Amino acid sequence: SLLQCRQPLIYKYQSMKPFFYLHNFHPAHAHSVTVDYHKSFFQPVSSSGFLVRDKNFFNLITHHADYLNPKDHDEDGLPNQVNKSIQTTRRFDALKLWFTLRMMGRNKLGGYFDTIIETAAKIADLLHSDSDFELMNESDISALVFRYRPKNVQLDVCAMNQYIKKAMFNQGKALVAGTKINQQFYLKFTLLNPLTTISDIENIIKIIKKHGNEYVRLN
C-alpha cells in the first residue's frame, strides 16, 4: 500500500541533512506528502507518490462504484488496487523507484540530492554577485528564477529575456526555461543533474549574456 512506502521515504529524506534538517522539514510531521519522483529521485515520467500518515485518511477520498470496486469487496477483505490510486488502472510506475533504491541505496541517492541543493545555492550566489542579473528567489531546493537586466540599458526587460530564451533554443547549445511572476517574464534554471558543475552553468550564463547583448545591439 502507499502507507507501506512511507517509512523508506522518511529514511531517505533523513539522509539529506544539509537541506532538510537546516530547514526543519520533516515529512513525518505532515498529514500527507506528495512526491514527484521524476523531479527529485531522477526517475523518468511518470512517477509520483501520495503518502499519508494514517491509512484511514484515504477514506476521505474513497468512492465505491458497483462495477469497479463494490463496497462488499472491502468488507470481505478482497484487495483492489482501484482503492490505491486516483488513476485506477495504472502502470507499475513504482517499479522504477524500487529498482533505483535497490541499486543505488538511499545514502547515494541522498548524496546526489544534497549535491544538487549545494550547486543551486552556489549558482544563486553567482547570479546575485553579477550586477547584470536580477535574482528573483533564493533556491530552497533546485530552482532559480532570474533575468538578465544589465545596468544603464533602458529596454523592455521582459522582451529582452524572451529573446534570450528563444535565441538559445534556436542556437541549440543550451536551453533555459522561462516563467512569469506578476506578469513579468523571467528565466529559470531547474537543476536536476548531480553531475552539473558550476563551470557548466558559468558557460550558460555567458551564452545568456551574449544573446542579451545581441538584443541590445538590435534595439
Mean pLDDT of 26-51: 80
Same domain, 127 and 89: no
Same domain, 154 and 200: yes
Same domain, 98 and 184: no
More confident residue, 202 or 54: 202
Residue 10: per-residue pLDDT? 38
Distances (CA, A) of 98 to 34, 102, 216, 219: 17, 6, 50, 53
Whole-model pTM? 0.74
More confident residue, 185 or 16: 185
**Residue pLDDT, tens place only, 49-63:** 888 888 888 788 777
Same domain, 141 and 70: no
Find out whether 192 and 116 touch, Cβ atoms under 8 Å: yes
**Residue pLDDT, tens place only, 22-31:** 455 566 778 8
- The three three-digit cell numbers of residue 41, written as one number: 529521485
Last residue of a domain, one of 52, 75, 104: 104
Residue 96, in any domain of the structure: yes
Mean pLDDT of 39-49: 81
Distance CA 42, CA 61 (A): 29
Measured from the Cβ of residue 165, the count of other Cβ atoms closer than 10 Å reads: 19
- Asked if the model's pLDDT at residue 205 lies above 90, the reply is yes
- Asked if the model's pLDDT at residue 206 lies above 70, the reply is yes
Phi, psi of 145, deg, nearest 5 = -110, 130
Same domain, 97 and 131: no
More confident residue, 104 or 141: 104
Residue 110, in any domain of the structure: no
Long-range contacts of 136-140 (CB under 8 A, 24+ apart): 136/181, 136/186, 140/19, 140/23
Last residue of a domain, one of 104, 128, 154: 104
CA dihedral sign of residues 190, 195, 197, 203: negative
Domain that holds residue 186: 115-218
**Residue pLDDT, tens place only, 140-197:** 788 999 999 998 888 999 999 999 999 999 999 999 999 999 999 999 999 989 999 9
Residue 154, in any domain of the structure: yes
- Count of structural domains within the chain: 2
Same domain, 39 and 125: no
Last residue of a domain, one of 78, 104, 130: 104
Residue 194, in any domain of the structure: yes
Minimum mean pLDDT range among 3-12, 20-29, 84-93, 129-138: 3-12
Same domain, 88 and 124: no
- Asked if the model's pLDDT at residue 11 lies above 70, the reply is no
Same domain, 43 and 85: yes
